[in-house]
Each structure stands twice: as structure tokens, then as C-alpha cells.
Amino acid sequence: MQTRTLGKYGPTVSALGLGCMGLSFGYGPAVDRRQGIALIREAFERGITFFDTAEAYGALNEEMLGEAVAPFRDRVVLATKFGFKNGDSKSGMDSRPERIRAVAETSLKHLRTDRIDLFYQHRVDPDVPMEDMAGTVKDLIAEGKVRHFGLSEAGVESIRRAHAVQSVAALQSEYSLWWREPQKAILPLCEELGIGFVPFSPLGKGFLTGKIDENTAFDKDDFRNIVPRFSPEARKANQALVDLLGRIAGERQATPAQIALAWLLAQKPWIVPIPGTTRLHRLEENLGAGNVELAPQDLERIDTALARIVIAGDRYPAHLQQRIGR
């Protein structure tokens, strides 16, 4: 596994990380605790050193990660997040200084560690000045409880304001072949300020793997049930993108997922995607993307084809869309 450094200020991590959210949140019932721990340890054995969780994913998520990495804690980078009222993503934002400190202490316990390697604000809180939020994380860094500061789904102005108080090591936002919005303003800003970029949902919440079509049924608790881009009509319309990936993958003796991840890795050397999975064979498939090197002509071909494909459906329902880019 190759490594990458998250910008000028961030840690050095494996070129692909593991997003742990789906182990207990967002896509239906949680996996068995032992199964989750085993998957995380298998990821480490295969070279992954960057693991992502959050308070909002539930205590179990952080606890599984903490127990899993305990035998090799000093060899991995753990990222977690604060920013929701009572840790509930449905309850609105809360990045008051006292709340940030409370989350940090709880996360340290759940993760069985004495420091959080990368502490993100999960979503911008419009009621708390960025300077106050960033200042609190700066104090936690000075106290040795946090090593690096991150933001998630923040807009340009918020990033600049936070970065002026405490250097932002990484910005985590959605970025993939079917959501390229960060290319307009966010990636140029990250390059200007020396901020690493961590794409979540790099496989389009599973759609870019080619294993989902208009007839796929999701678990009743699966987040994708409320995402406009996952309506049956949108999935049918967006199949053109998956077909493109399938053709390129066939030529390269790879899978659509590997091409999608290889495309992200080719964009910038400070980009580190964090695909999530609950299955070992999917983990191994994702890691295979590191062996797929897209030539300039491959990237040009993909970009040309993308310009002709219109993606159907918003990536969030309206009430969640309001929380991003602020």
C-alpha cells in the first residue's frame, strides 16, 4: 500500500482509508461487533492505516474501531467528528466549545486512546462563529488531545475563516465520478492553502460498483431510500455512467469500483478516498484500485465521456442539502 500526506499540515496515511460508518450506521442494521472488529483488523493487515468514524455514527462505531486497533494503535491514524446535538445527525448542529470538548472526551474513551489524530467538524454550525470552533480545537491540540484539525462539507468562506485560526489539515466531502462539484472551488482552495482532501462516498454510495440498478431494493433503514439520486428513475438514467466504467474496467482487467477509485487517486497526490464496506471481498476489491494506474489518455477519455453524461437526481434531499457548503 502506497502512502500519501494530507496536505501541508496533515498526517501521512495509506493512499486509501476505510470509512467505518456503514459498519453500524446509514445502510441498515449494524454488523456483528466481532465481524466489524475483524474487518478493521483485516484492513490493517492489508495496508490500511487511516480509519474514519464519528460520534454521529453511534458509540458502537467508535468502540469497534477502538477495540480493533488497540494492538497496533500507534501505527494507524484515527479520524472522528463532532458537530451534532447529542450526537444525533437528525437533531441539528452543535459546535459550541463546551460541546466540542465533551465529544472529544467521549471519543477518546470509545477509541481507547489518548489522542484523536484528526478531529473534524462534521457540519458547519451557523450559530457558532468558525473562529470559536476552530479556537477550541486549537486548544485541544495544544493540550495533546487532538493532533490535526479537519472540516467536513464546509464552504470556501468557512474554510478560510477556520484555517486562519488553526491550520486545517484535511477537508472531508463527497467527491466521485458522479459528484464532481468540489472541482469548481473546493479543490483549488485546498491546493492554495495546503489542505488535504478526503472524499467520502467515493463509489457513489455503492452505485459506481455496478452492483445496483433500478430494481435494487434497500433495507428499510437504508439512508439511500431518501436520496433523490437513488430513486428508481434516477438509477435507470444514471446507468450510462456505470456502463462507461464497465467498458473501461473490462479493457483494464479491473472492476468498475477500481476504476472509480483509481480516477480519484489520479486527480491530486493529496487526495485520500475512504470507501466503506462490511465485506472482506469488497475491501480487497477496493484495495486493488491501488494497482490500477490510469494513463493521461485514460483520464482524458473518461473526462470526455463524463461531459456527455447528465447525472439525474440531487445527492441529498433538500433538508440535508441545506447543511453543506456553508
The residues annotated with a catalytic role in the active site are: 57
Spatial contact of 314 and 228, defined as CB atoms under 8 Å apart: yes
Report helix, strand or coil for 5: strand
Cα–Cα separations (whole angstroms), residue 170 to 8, 10, 129? 9, 7, 19
Contacts of 57 (CB under 8 A, 6+ apart): 20, 21, 24, 25, 26
Contacts of 61 (CB under 8 A, 6+ apart): 20, 21, 23, 24, 25, 53, 54
Secondary structure, 3-state, 63-108: HHHHHHHHHHHHHCEEEEEECEHHHCCCCCECCCHHHHHHHHHHHH
What phi-psi label fits residue 82: left (phi over 0), alpha (psi between -120 and 50 degrees) or beta? Answer: beta
Residue 314 to residue 227: CA distance in whole angstroms: 7
Q: What angle do CA 73, 77, 78 make, to 5 degrees?
A: 85
Q: How many residues are there in the chain?
A: 326
Residue 115 to residue 124: CA distance in whole angstroms: 23
Residues paired with 12 in a beta bridge: 5
Contacts of 149 (CB under 8 A, 6+ apart): 118, 119, 120, 134, 137, 138, 141, 162, 166, 167, 168, 169
